[in-house]
């Protein structure tokens, strides 16, 4: 598998505290990678390291297959918006973009209008940024990160503090840039439910550690409504399920069968098993929300 970005044991230690502890993440081209973790999990620190804004204490990362010092030669292909976008409030959106283009040596004619249009701010170019809503500021921040045509854009909590309208606008902007320009994104959030509407892959971070990486389908499957069944003979139990017409099931680990259809038919299932001499050891209906799943994984109540 060819990755756009991978980290390898990436670690950042402040004093005795490891803000990021041997993190390995894997980002493919075209992914919208959602880095999810509670406040203080280490997301910003991880994103700062892969944007070149903080130096790792240990480990490293590779970008386009390049690693070590060589990777820093490719930093211009990464656009980052970490913490609040650095905007000049008394300048217009267009002037803010012009400054960034000058700093990055981008001179192409029409680029400012193009960038404003890309993030849906075409009609607000002349407006002073101090009069922008938070959502507009975030979108202008994304436009700034787009200067220089990066392959990867890193956004730290891009929906934090936005109202539903602002969230929808940012989400739509990311999805469009991903689809039309094939830009890969890494976005962080502490709200899995929100991220789940945008991200295609997830890295779940807790106490500086990446606990799990999974695709959206894998995550949704883990959270989908299902019957979980344990029987004294798993293989035979599967045969009986098929005999009574159940095909949407899978054996999740050695002895747990997950059934995704006929969720109200637990009684019929256990009787069918019993009549073939198979003992049901456990049967239950699982209906875990995304947030429950995340809380269980990170061990306890949310602090948000
Ligand atoms: P948040 O969403 O609250 O920003 P986060 O997941 O982004 O959380 P980080 O900001 O990366 O987490 O912080 C991770 C840990 O590292 C925290 O305990 C934080 O206090 C600590 N930390 C971050 N930056 C520094 C620093 N410059 N000096 C000392 N400790 C730091």
Q: What is the pLDDT of residues 127-145, one digit of tens each?
A: 999 999 888 888 899 899 9
Closest CA to 42 of 153, 218, 206, 199: 206
Q: CA 205 to CA 208: how far, in whole Å?
A: 6
Share of the chain above pLDDT 90, in %: 57
Mean pLDDT, rounded, for 68-81: 82
Domain with CATH 3.30.70 in the chain: 225-286
Mean pLDDT, rounded, for 58-77: 84
Calculate how far, in angstroms, residue 301's C-alpha sits from the geometric centre of ligand 1: 20
Does the Cβ of 210 fall within 6 Å of ligand 1? no
Does the Cβ of 40 fall within 6 Å of ligand 1? yes
Query: Three-class SS of residue 40?
Result: coil
Q: Which atom of ligand 1 is nearest to the CA of 44?
A: 7
Q: What is the pLDDT of residue 301?
A: 55
Closest CA to 33 of 1, 5, 59, 60: 5
Q: Does residue 214 register a pLDDT over 70? A: yes
Answer whether 244's CB lies under 8 Å from 259's CB: no
- 242 pLDDT band (50/70/90 cuts)? very high
Those residues whose C-beta lies under 8 Å from the C-beta of residue 11, and which sit 6 or more positions away, are 18, 20, 21, 22, 23, 56, 57, 58, 59
Mean pLDDT, rounded, for 34-52: 92
Q: Does residue 302 register a pLDDT over 70? A: no
Calculate how far, in angstroms, residue 8's C-alpha sits from the geometric centre of ligand 1: 20
Q: Does residue 101 register a pLDDT over 90? A: yes
Q: Options 3.20.20, 3.30.70, 3.10.450, 2.40.10; which CATH number does 225-286 get?
A: 3.30.70
Does the Cβ of 203 fall within 6 Å of ligand 1? no
Calculate how far, in angstroms, residue 24's C-alpha sits from the geometric centre of ligand 1: 18
Does the Cβ of 138 fall within 6 Å of ligand 1? no
Q: In this structure, which residue's CA is closest to atom 20 in ligand 1?
A: 40
Calculate how far, in angstroms, residue 45's C-alpha sits from the geometric centre of ligand 1: 6
Q: What is the pLDDT of residue 228?
A: 93
Answer whether 13's CB lies under 8 Å from 57's CB: yes
Domain with CATH 3.40.50.300 in the chain: 5-215
From 40, 155, 302, the mutation candidate for ligand 1 (largest count of ligand atoms within 8 A of CB) is 40
CATH architecture label of 5-215: 3-Layer(aba) Sandwich (3.40)
Q: In this structure, which residue's CA is closest to atom 9 in ligand 1?
A: 42
């Amino acid at each position: 598998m060819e990755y756009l970005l991978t980290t390898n044991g990436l670690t950042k230690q402040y004093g005795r505290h490891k803000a990021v502890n041997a993190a390995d993440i894997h980002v493919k081209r075209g992914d919208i990678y959602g880095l999810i973790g509670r406040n203080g999990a280490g997301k910003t620190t991880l994103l700062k390291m892969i944007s070149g804004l903080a130096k790792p204490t240990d480990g490293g990362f590779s970008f386009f297959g390049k690693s070590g010092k060589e990777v820093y030669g490719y930093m211009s292909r990464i656009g980052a918006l970490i913490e609040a976008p650095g905007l000049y409030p008394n300048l217009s959106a267009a002037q803010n973009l012009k400054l960034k283009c000058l700093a990055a040596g981008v001179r192409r004619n029409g680029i400012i209008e193009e960038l404003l249009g890309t993030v849906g701010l075409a009609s607000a170019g002349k407006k002073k940024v101090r009069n922008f809503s938070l959502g507009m500021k975030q979108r202008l921040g994304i436009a700034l990160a787009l200067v220089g045509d990066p392959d990867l854009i890193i956004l730290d909590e891009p929906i934090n503090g936005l109202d539903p309208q602002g969230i929808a606008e940012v989400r739509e902007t990311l999805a469009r840039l991903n689809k039309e320009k094939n830009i890969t994104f890494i976005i962080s959030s502490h709200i899995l439910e929100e991220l789940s509407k945008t991200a295609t892959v997830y890295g779940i971070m807790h106490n500086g550690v990446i606990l799990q990486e999974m695709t959206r389908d894998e995550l949704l499957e883990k959270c989908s409504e299902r019957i979980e069944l344990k029987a004294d003979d798993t293989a035979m139990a599967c045969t009986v399920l098929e005999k009574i017409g159940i095909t949407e099931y899978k054996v999740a680990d050695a002895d747990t069968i997950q059934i995704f259809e006929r969720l109200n038919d637990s009684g019929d299932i256990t009787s069918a098993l019993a009549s073939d001499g198979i003992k049901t050891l456990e049967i239950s209906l699982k209906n875990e929300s995304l947030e429950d799943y995340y809380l269980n994984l990170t061990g306890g109540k949310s602090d948000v």
